[in-house]
Amino acid sequence: MKDLAKKTPVQTWYTGKTIFVTGGSGFMGKVLLEKLLYSCSDLERIYVLMRPKRGKSPQTRIDDWLKLPVFKRIREEKPKVYKKLVPIPGDVTSDKLGISPEHEQLLIENAEIVFHCAATLKLEARLKDAIEMNTIGTKRILDLCLQMKRLKALLHLSTAFCYCDKEVLTEKVHDFHHNPYDLMRTVEWMDEKALDMITPNLLTPHPNTYTYSKRLAEMMVRDAYSKLRVCIVRPSIVCPANAEPVEGWVDSLNGPVGIMVAGGKGIIRSMLCNGEYNAEVIPVDIAINGLITIAYTLGQMEEMPKEIPVYNITCRETKRTTWKEVLDLGKATAYEYPFEAGVWYPDGDITMNKTYHNIIVLLFHWLPAYFIDFLMFCFGQKRFMCRIQNMVSEGLSLLQFFTTRQWDFKSHQYQAIAKDLSPEDNVIFTMDVDAIDTKDYLRRIILGGRQYCMKEPLSTLPKARIQLKCLWVLDKVAKAFVLYGLAWLFLTLTGLKAPVYEMLGWAL
């Protein structure tokens, strides 16, 4: 074993620890596993709850991860530590997590730190699925953790948006008029069609099943606090990595990344959003550093507080950026680093005028989509634009709840963690959002979405810039024709065509 004197306090605490992680295959999960292996390499082992997928065994899935960009520095610098990643076949939606008695006993005897990150992130998920995964799944994790003999810290990953009926979102679990145990029993016996019918009334004031089921889960975690060393962690909108493990790394088009990519491709021309409100986003590496240091803080507590510790992983008040600033900087960055094969010149905008937004969506979202699909049909090609536009529309309608409201997050307990860390730990596990340059970070987001989601290498940038110039010319010519057509129609209908043409010296 390495000399402990050369390690930071956080690294020393993780030395020899056995960790259990759920949701390891997700965006945050992969970054968490990579950071633990890279910066806390002397941990004993990380058990990851995994289910077979697409015919691949859990072990095969984990082996395949090593090829991903997110594990690049592990692959190049510390390949041996990857063997400390061990899959536990199972599923949070199965009774007793679907794990074997042998694996269950293994976790009960050895697990010391638990990161519960598994969840369905689909905002539009059916209530039964959301409750099954996010609420009942959490209950199963709590039941297992209550049996663990060496447990030092359990972190439940929630969301900063689970109290959307509160004007100020503090680091506290609030009561709710629904009992999570009643809801769990209801989804077990009620017919899905009947459940779907009552879902809108049940969700109020929540905009979707995700925040609703997460709120219910928090209440259960709070109830277990007297028996478990547990805390709740609430990140805001998690975005691509700022610096670690790879700048701009992201593995899906969910959330703002999908909006930026669609906007950069010219697919999105309008979005309902209040430009003066704050964009509550957090880089994934900052959020993961928060998780790791929160577990350390929880494990170090000699006396637990009376109420369950809650940490809002959100931006400091000194680092608030508005949606308008994000749009302006994002557009400038997208012009400098354009995507390949855009549908139209990227020149969308945000508005709070629903009538104007709906007109723009009709004219510049749906009409071009139908026109492109018509051309694809004529040439015998597979149609795709209407399908993409439908996905974009659904995504925008779900996101507008968060982009048309002002969120006031308080994160005093979370911000206090960095003050108690050593200078070395504050470098290795940085949570300093203030040090991030917004323009540079947006560049990393766009290039990350370009490379890792759209699979467009940076070598194609020169070609993409030429395509962007062509789209700019096409955009100006098309707008000129549209304006001319509208003017001609107006003059014709009002009878002003002849006098105007005569004044300009044009022939009718």
Q: How many domains does the structure of the chain reveal?
A: 1
pLDDT digits (tens, 9 = 90+) for 23-59: 999 999 999 999 999 999 999 999 999 988 888 889 9
Q: Strand locations in 41-159, DSSP E?
A: 45-50, 85-89, 113-116, 153-157
Tell whether 468 is covered by a domain. Answer: no
Would you say residue 1 has pLDDT above 50? no
Mean pLDDT value of segment 454-466: 93
Read off the tokens for 318.
Answer: 């000194």
The Cα–Cα gap between 287 and 283 comes to 6
Contacts of 184 (CB under 8 A, 6+ apart): 131, 135, 136, 139
Mean pLDDT value of segment 352-376: 90
Mean pLDDT of the chain: 91
Per cent of the chain over pLDDT 70 is 99
Contacts of 27 (CB under 8 A, 6+ apart): 238, 250, 251, 252, 254, 284
- Structural domain of 217: 9-252+279-321+406-453
The confidence score (pLDDT) of residue 2 equals 44
Tell whether 223 is covered by a domain. Answer: yes
153-157 vs 230-235, strand pairing mode: parallel
Read off the tokens for 501.
Answer: 């043409």
The confidence score (pLDDT) of residue 497 equals 77
Mean pLDDT value of segment 480-484: 86
Tell whether 484 is covered by a domain. Answer: no
Tell whether 472 is covered by a domain. Answer: no
Question: What is the DSSP code string of 117-151?
Answer: ------TT--HHHHIIIIIIHHHHHHHHHTT-SS-
Read off the tokens for 429.
Answer: 């596990």
Mean pLDDT value of segment 406-410: 90
**Which is more confidently placed, 396 or 335?**
335
The confidence score (pLDDT) of residue 508 equals 63
Would you say residue 3 has pLDDT above 60? no
The confidence score (pLDDT) of residue 259 equals 85
DSSP annotation of 350: E
- Three-class DSSP category at 270: strand
Tell whether 109 is covered by a domain. Answer: yes
Cα dist from 279 to 257, 402, 454, whole Å: 13, 9, 24
Tell whether 177 is covered by a domain. Answer: yes
Mean pLDDT value of segment 442-468: 93
The Cα–Cα gap between 320 and 323 comes to 10
**Which is more confidently placed, 371 or 149?**
149
Tell whether 433 is covered by a domain. Answer: yes
**Which is more confidently placed, 175 or 291?**
291
pLDDT digits (tens, 9 = 90+) for 240-297: 999 999 999 998 888 788 888 888 888 888 999 999 998 888 999 999 999 999 999 9
Long-range contacts at 450-453 (CB < 8 A, ≥ 24 apart) = 450/261, 450/337, 450/339, 451/248, 452/69, 452/248, 452/249, 452/250, 452/251, 453/250, 453/251, 453/252, 453/253, 453/257, 453/261
Mean pLDDT value of segment 385-409: 86
What is the H or E stretch that residue 232 is in? strand 230-235
pLDDT band at 5 (very low <50, low <70, confident <90, very high): low
- Token look-up 């598994």 returns 118
> The CATH number of the domain where 135 resides is what?
3.40.50.720
The confidence score (pLDDT) of residue 104 equals 96
Question: What is the DSSP code string of 279-338?
Answer: --EEEHHHHHHHHHHHHHHHHH-SS--SSPPEEEE---GGG--BHHHHHHHHHHHHHHSP
Read off the tokens for 363.
Answer: 């004219």
The confidence score (pLDDT) of residue 22 equals 97
The gap between the terminal CA atoms of the chain, to the nearest Å, is 91
Tell whether 392 is covered by a domain. Answer: no
